[in-house]
A and B are shown apart, each in its own frame.
Chain A
Amino acid sequence: MKPAVIVFPASNCDRDAAVAIEKICGVKPLMVWHGDSTLPDVDLIVIPGGFSFGDYLRCGAMAARSPVMREVVDRANKGTPVLGICNGFQVLTEAGLLPGALMMNAHLKFVCKDVALKVESNQSMFTSRYQAGEVVTYTVAHHEGNYFADDATLGEIEQNGQVAFRYLDNPNGARNDIAGIFNRERNVLGLMPHPERMIEPDLGGADGARMFESLVASL
Chain B
Amino acid sequence: MKARVHVTLKSGVLDPQGRAIQHTLGSLGFGGVSDVRQGKYLELDLAETDREAAERSVKDMCEKLLANTVIENYSIDLVE
- Residues of B with C-beta under 8 A to A149: 70
Set of chain B residues within 8 Å of A103, measured between Cβ atoms: 13-14, 71
In the complex the two chains form, what is the Cα distance from A61 to B20 in whole Å? Answer: 25
Within 8 Å by CB of B17, from A57, A93, A108, A150, lies: A108
Indicate whether A101 sits within 8 Å of B68 (C-beta atoms), given known contacts A148-B13, A150-B12: yes
A46 to B7, CA, bound (A): 31
- Point out the residue from B16, B65, B68 that lies within 8 Å of A104, measured CB to CB: B16
Asked whether, in the complex, the Cβ of A101 is within 8 Å of the Cβ of B70, the reply is yes
Q: How many residues of B contact A (CB 8 A)?
A: 12
The yes or no answer to A70 lying at the interface (CB within 8 A) is no
Instruction: Please tell me if A161 contacts chain B, counting CB pairs below 8 Å.
Output: no
Residues from chain A with Cβ under 8 Å of B13 in the complex? 103, 148
Q: Say whether B71 contacts A148, CB under 8 Å.
A: yes
Q: Are B70 and A100 in contact (CB under 8 A)?
A: yes
A173 touches B68 (CB 8 A): no
Task: Report if B66 contacts A (CB, 8 A).
Answer: yes
Contacts of A107 in B (CB 8 A): 16
| Contact residues in B for A57 (Cβ distance below 8 Å) | 65-66
Q: Indicate with 1 or 0, residue by residue over A86-104, a CB within 8 angstroms of chain B CB atoms.
A: 0000000110000111011
Q: How many A-B residue pairs have CB under 8 A?
A: 35
Query: Which residues of B lie under 8 Å from residue A100 when comparing CB positions?
Result: 70
Give Cα distance in the complex from A55 to B65, angstroms.
13
What sequence of 0s and 1s flags, for each residue 44-80 of chain B, a beta carbon within 8 Å of any chain A beta carbon? Answer: 0000000000000000000011101011000000000
Closest residue of B by beta carbon distance from A100 = B70
- Name the A residues within 8 Å of B16 (CB-CB): 104-108, 173
A65 within 8 A of B: yes
| A28 part of interface (Cβ distance < 8 Å) | no
A108 neighbours in B (Cβ, 8 Å): 16-17, 20
Please encode chain A, from 142 to 182, with 1 for each CB lying within 8 Å of some chain B CB and 0 for all others: 00000011100000000000000000000001000000000
B70 contacts which of A65, A93, A105 (Cβ < 8 Å)? A93
Q: Does any Cβ of B come within 8 Å of A186's Cβ?
A: no
> A-side interface residues toward B, CB under 8 Å?
57-58, 61, 65, 93-94, 99-101, 103-108, 148-150, 173
Interface set of B (CB-CB < 8 Å, partner A): 12-14, 16-17, 20, 64-66, 68, 70-71
New contact pairs (11) apart from A99-B70, A104-B16, A108-B16, CB-CB < 8 Å: A57-B66, A61-B65, A65-B65, A94-B68, A100-B70, A101-B71, A104-B17, A105-B16, A148-B70, A148-B71, A150-B12
Give 27 CB contacts A-B under 8 Å: A57-B66, A61-B68, A65-B64, A93-B70, A99-B70, A100-B70, A101-B68, A101-B70, A101-B71, A103-B13, A103-B14, A104-B16, A104-B17, A105-B16, A106-B14, A106-B16, A107-B16, A108-B17, A148-B13, A148-B14, A148-B70, A148-B71, A149-B70, A150-B12, A150-B70, A173-B14, A173-B16
